[in-house]
Structure formats: C-alpha cells, structure tokens
Amino acid sequence: MRPQPGDLLRVDGRASVQFGGDRGLTFRVVSVGPEVPHTGWIWLTGYVLNRRGTATVKREIFVQTTGLRRHVDIPTPGRARAARPYAARNDQGDGEAARHGEGLRARADAR
C-alpha cells in the first residue's frame, strides 16, 4: 500500500517494531516522503489521532509500506463545546450568590 495525504492509517508492529504491542497508533497522513534506498520503507508525516479522532501530536515516522493498514473505525471530531467560566456560575464562586439568596445553599434551604 502506498499512502496518500489524507489517508487514515492504523500503524502497528507490522509496519515497524517501534509500534508493536500497545504502542500502535492511528495516523492521519499529511505528506509522503520521497523513496528511500531501503526497499519497502517510507517516511510519513502526519498527526497521531486519539480515540475521538482529534489530532494530538504531529510526527514523522519511518515504516514498511507492506505493514500499513487503512483505519476505518474512528469518529469525525466534533466542534468543541464552549465551557462556562467558573466565576460566571451563580451557585459557586466568591459567595456573592449566597449573599443574594441564590445558589446551592438558598435552593437547599427552600426545600
């Protein structure tokens, strides 16, 4: 298999001993290096993806083309959710919510 930019691969011990055992990874190819004198080996540049399909680190790897496998079971990364700042919550923080009769304590007392 000759990978192309955009391919999603499962890289494990079949591609190189450095990825054997639990060191295998899911890899999104960005670029493919030129042919090297070692027949069947190639340099790939791309991103390691986590289980959610999010790129975690950019790497350059040297692998055997015969050991590469296409990876098909990974979700497409979704849009990140915006987190509310901690200080913006009315039920926690500096005590202002409690002084105004709001927040967790006021709710518990109201029951």
Tell me the per-residue pLDDT of 46-98, one tens digit each, with 9 for 90 and over: 999 998 899 999 999 999 999 999 987 655 555 555 555 555 555 555 566 55
Q: What are the residues whose beta carbons fall under 8 Å from the beta carbon of 18, sequence distance 6 or more?
A: none
CA distance 2 to 65: 6
The pLDDT, as a whole number, for residue 1 is: 78
Structure tokens at 27: 């890899």
Per-residue pLDDT, averaged over 30-50, amounts to 89
The pLDDT, as a whole number, for residue 84 is: 55
The pLDDT, as a whole number, for residue 38 is: 77
DSSP bridge pairs for 46? 29, 59
Q: Which residues of 47-78 are buried (b: 16+ CB within 10 A; e: fewer)?
A: bbbeeeeeeeeeeebebeeebbeebeebeeee
Q: pLDDT grade, residue 101 (50/70/90)?
A: low
pTM value?
Answer: 0.62
Q: Tell me: pLDDT of 4 over 90.
A: yes
